[in-house]
Structure 1
Amino acid sequence: MRARTKPLARVWEWQGDAACRGMDGSVFFSPPGERGAARREREEAARAICRTCSVSGPCGRFAQESQQYYGVWGGRTEGERRVR
């Protein structure tokens, strides 16, 4: 019996409407060694973008379901996603 899978395009189609589309990913992912105020400021800048995004819900669900360990997805940091 074959497992039923979603077509790949459906898994990613929400990205077409993402507020971050085409942006530099460094806003959403921390560089090595980033800590303290610098990390909090970058994460808040990423969250500000996510707050304007019409697909932050699907983005956050994708990150949770696919176990994205790094970055801000759907307005939530990796630490916030681990709590759930």
Structure 2
Amino acid sequence: MPALKLLKLPPPVTEEWEWQMNASCRDIDGSLFFHPDNERGEAREGRVAAAKRICEGCPVRRECLRYALESGERYGIWGGTTEEERRATRARRRVR
């Protein structure tokens, strides 16, 4: 039987994630930023608006949005944007 070759991952680069330590959402319940199953209408709009208010004054909003766009984050509020807003931004970037 051939010897197994172990996959060796690079160590995490702290500098790439350090921005999260300064995020305004750091100590807030994460469920505010991710919709529960079947959430619709006013309930969803209210939750999204509350999450975006937190993002408005966040000192790392730009880094958060960049992460979400570069990683293809499909769920939640990141950098003050919804899933739909990020999809539209990525589509516009592809057109350019």
2:70 alignment partner, one of 61, 65, 83 = 65
Runs of 4 or more off by more than 3 Å in structure 1?
Answer: none
CA distance in 2, matches of 1:71, 1:26: 9
Letter in 2 for 1:76: T
Counterpart position of 1:22: 27
Which has the larger Rg? 2
Counterpart position of 2:53: 48
What is the root-mean-square deviation in Å for CA atoms of aligned residues? 1.5
Tell me which moved more, 5-14 or 27-36: 5-14
RCO greater where, 1 or 2, for CA within 8 Å and sep 6 or more?
1
Gaps of 5+ in 1: none
Residues 49-79 of structure 1 deviation map (CA, whole Å, 9 limit, x = unaligned): 0001000000001001001100000100000
In the superposition, relative to structure 1, how do residues 10 and 34 fare at CA in structure 2: closer, same or farther (>3 Å)?
same
The percentage of aligned residue pairs carrying the same residue is 51
CA distance in 2, matches of 1:6, 1:54: 27
How many equivalent pairs are there?
A: 80
CA distance in 1, matches of 2:52, 2:31: 13
Letter in 2 for 1:69: R
Gaps of 5+ in 2: 1-9, 90-96
